[in-house]
Structure 1
């Protein structure tokens, strides 16, 4: 493998080091985020839990939509999506158009239930529908996922900044986490949303600049597409039904829908912002806008991947050893295309950090509410006053930040951070989606079915994920990159005699036919689907065997409107549908505050 310093002297890329303007750009991004938090901390009226967590349910539709977009696009996403298309082609991108299916499911299945029951904490629904133990089970899954996921979210951008500045990666991680903690702790959800708007704008702007400069380096869009076709990077409709194939039309579409529906519609960090809007109509509108924005930002990053391939169509840095991992292709491409432009390296790093900060701040805010409401607030002798609630939730944000910094030292020891994130998410998403669908779409499901179905799902998909990872490390499962060329490196000042790699396998190659099928060889994208199915396969029979749920006791509001046809007619007619354009209010015209998010001291009583 060639040494970086030797190759960098031959290929005309930027210096790869932060210049004065780069520092100014990056520090400005952090300073603006901090300023927003300080502003809302002192002038945002965050004295109540409802204001701190929900913005008083007066948040605006478009900012919430942008916040959802920004927090769904992490720094890992910015780096991994273009790399995925560079190495494996466009089959991944087929899941993008189906985001509209995900948003439709959330809008018409889940959102009405949360609003009609005035639920601010999505895990509260599980206690209302099933029991406290089922609620705590899913809450623990959420907490475990969050505290493994979050340290990775900001550590990856920290690595990128360390590479171009020479600073210690842990120092960078500590500074960035501290900024995120301060503005989230002081400003609450208002600071989270408005910093997301700023950071989302940075992400889109930086990605567009990188894409345009990359296209100009290649020539034009037509040339990008032609080279992608010639390099076999364009593939959308691989209908192979083999479950062991890494990326096909069926597994990308189904796996994408199941995973995204769970993450966006049933993850508290997202639900908390969705229900901070006044009405169901506002929430639905915000999600439709989110869908449109998601198409834009992910579409841009997908095309960056194709442009990256077109740029190195005849001189693959991976083959040459210039870049040792696929995950590092995007930073290399950025240095190559815009590194010579003053300040552009700083803008790219700001883009990656913005993506990480937006995800982390939203998670910190939701974690503070969930941990306080579900655990700290229920401790004997714990004061239920708004002042103490605010103190403890802000303390949880600080502690969460400290955990992320300390876990960074552990994360630094792992070689494939993206695989860790994907493994954890696939284990939790299927079980979470399954238990909510069991509750909202099956009126007869009971607590035993929900609890044991979730347990079975987590353990089985957890086994698949761990066993699959072991097989990958042992070389039992491999996903070779698509073929690439190095016969045109003269244009980059390199004299390479090797031409085209002909023995690379297609990325969608399945296990050899003479090998025995094994469950752990199933592609990881299927794990969420499998987890969902297990919840239903176990949950429905267990519910029937242990005594089906009393439909009359459950009532209509805890069942999704799309499943009301399953209810007896007298229950269907009992509660008239509520106008989705009108917010829930009490007799004094104030928003109803019967959720456990808002404590007794804030509720009005008649004298």
Structure 2
């Protein structure tokens, strides 16, 4: 006689209501989860938009709105099945594009040995820094423990839970979860390698595009590299754009679908009278449109923040994800924990970590950690329209205004990171969003 698996709840937050015997705790985690999803969605939407602007000069708002419309349409019509199958195809394009950039960038940087020497001598291979100072942005402890604690939160997201729920048996779900972890580490690794190769390429070329003002946003650096290395190779720039779009679209479709599911199961259904299937379908589809519109708004907000997108995402989302993860882990690990303790701990997490994280962007007098030096600039040529008649490299130009401009960039960009927010994984090594960010910066 075979035993049947117990029925799986539609949303992961149902566990909290059963564990703490409190609907309030469930709603608290639901609100935090939805806000976290929207924050993540806006950040992911910003990446391809800023890249397209660097490659084609298409206005950022056009790309943001257009991408969201595409995602909403196939999520709106296809549901969870469409999301899963598009994710499969998009994952292949994403990995292929990243590996192509790594291989071609390594070749153009002088080979594997030259690439490694460049990133090592510049201080960018510092994972084995064992300094116990918790305020260091990048050390062995912040990288390892930051990744581990973030990994604890993966099973508690509705996006992960829906995929586990779609598997036929518990053993299949376990195998899928193990495979997902392995692929996640692989994607994170090649994202970091891609960022390292990007630095080595610009260093070998002798021109940092950000210092030379060839790009206006550091999140456009990888796009600038692709334009350079694939300038004479047909189709490969398109492969890069396809990889970037695939990473963004697959993530956004999953987030839209999971957020609408949580909204229906936790917010609408328990607080309204029974309704017809047609009315329920209309409400869920309207929620997809609503969350899509909010995602566009968040993307515009993110576009106004400074810094690499991975750091922005970690900074703005840490208070939300940390609180939800803590409430789940408290319920699992502490049998005596009750709803008051869970609500108090979750609220303090949101307030304290939120104060630290958002204070980084709101305060102008924060302490800053030292930023790594940029790539070489001795062979940069002026692209500024004010000096468009010059064809000499920066090193041969004596115009004081040009020299002052370069020194201003080099000295002021070193004070962009608040020490209190440096506990999160650093850019290029972030465990947060390797698949979506494609190693934008190291």
Is 1:346 aligned to residue 244 of structure 2?
no
Where 1:292 maps in the other structure, the secondary structure is helix
* Alpha-carbon displacement from aligned partner over 1:284-331 (angstroms, at most 9, x marks no partner): 111221222223322222222222222222514134343444322211
Where 2:53 maps in the other structure, the secondary structure is helix
Distance between the aligned counterparts of 2:414 and 2:151, measured in 1?
22
* Alpha-carbon displacement from aligned partner over 1:244-300 (angstroms, at most 9, x marks no partner): 2111111111112112321x2111112111221122211111122122222332222
What root-mean-square deviation, in Å, do the aligned CA atoms of Structure 1 and Structure 2 show? 3.0
Q: Normalising by structure 2, what TM-score?
A: 0.81
Distance between the aligned counterparts of 1:166 and 1:325, measured in 2?
13
From 109, 132, 136, the counterpart of 2:27: 136
Distance between the aligned counterparts of 2:317 and 2:301, measured in 1?
19
> Contact 1:435–1:454 (CA<8 Å) still a contact in 2?
yes
Q: How far apart are 1:407 and its partner, in Å? A: 4.6
Distance between the aligned counterparts of 1:187 and 1:437, measured in 2?
34
Is 1:309 aligned to residue 199 of structure 2?
yes
- Which residue is equivalent to 1:387? 278
* Equivalent residues in 2 for 1:207-286, closer than 5 Å: 207-262=98-153, 264-286=154-176
- Which residue is equivalent to 1:147? 38
Distance between the aligned counterparts of 2:356 and 2:240, measured in 1?
36
Inter-CA distance 487–380: structure 2 relative to 1 (3 Å threshold) = closer
Where 1:121 maps in the other structure, the secondary structure is coil
* Equivalent residues in 2 for 1:16-415, closer than 5 Å: 118-130=8-20, 131-262=22-153, 264-314=154-204, 315-317=206-208, 318-383=210-275, 385-415=276-306
From 495, 520, 524, the counterpart of 2:393: 495
* Equivalent residues in 2 for 1:548-559, closer than 5 Å: none
> Contact 1:170–1:408 (CA<8 Å) still a contact in 2?
no
Where 2:423 maps in the other structure, the secondary structure is helix
> Contact 2:68–2:296 (CA<8 Å) still a contact in 1?
yes
> Contact 2:39–2:317 (CA<8 Å) still a contact in 1?
no
Is 1:441 aligned to residue 336 of structure 2?
no
Structure 2: where are the runs of 5+ without partners?
382-390, 397-402, 426-442
Structure 1 stretches of 4+ moved >6 Å: none
> Contact 2:315–2:424 (CA<8 Å) still a contact in 1?
no
> Contact 2:64–2:296 (CA<8 Å) still a contact in 1?
yes
> Contact 1:245–1:523 (CA<8 Å) still a contact in 2?
no
Where 1:213 maps in the other structure, the secondary structure is helix
Distance between the aligned counterparts of 1:214 and 1:140, measured in 2?
43
Inter-CA distance 222–526: structure 2 relative to 1 (3 Å threshold) = closer
Q: How far apart are 1:211 and its partner, in Å? A: 1.3
Where 1:256 maps in the other structure, the secondary structure is helix
> Contact 2:12–2:161 (CA<8 Å) still a contact in 1?
yes
Is 1:450 aligned to residue 348 of structure 2?
no
Where 2:395 maps in the other structure, the secondary structure is coil
Inter-CA distance 447–250: structure 2 relative to 1 (3 Å threshold) = same
Q: Which is greater in Rg?
A: 1
> Contact 1:423–1:524 (CA<8 Å) still a contact in 2?
no
Q: How far apart are 1:395 and its partner, in Å? A: 2.1
Distance between the aligned counterparts of 1:352 and 1:178, measured in 2?
17
> Contact 2:33–2:321 (CA<8 Å) still a contact in 1?
no
From 319, 325, 331, the counterpart of 1:427: 319
> Contact 1:134–1:450 (CA<8 Å) still a contact in 2?
yes
Distance between the aligned counterparts of 1:375 and 1:276, measured in 2?
22
Distance between the aligned counterparts of 1:254 and 1:401, measured in 2?
33
Distance between the aligned counterparts of 2:419 and 2:199, measured in 1?
29
Distance between the aligned counterparts of 2:345 and 2:126, measured in 1?
37
Distance between the aligned counterparts of 1:296 and 1:176, measured in 2?
27
* Alpha-carbon displacement from aligned partner over 1:2-41 (angstroms, at most 9, x marks no partner): xxxxxxxxxxxxxxxxxxxxxxxxxxxxxxxxxxxxxxxx
Q: How far apart are 1:406 and its partner, in Å? A: 4.5
Moved more, 121-130 or 238-247: 238-247
State how many pairs are aligned.
397
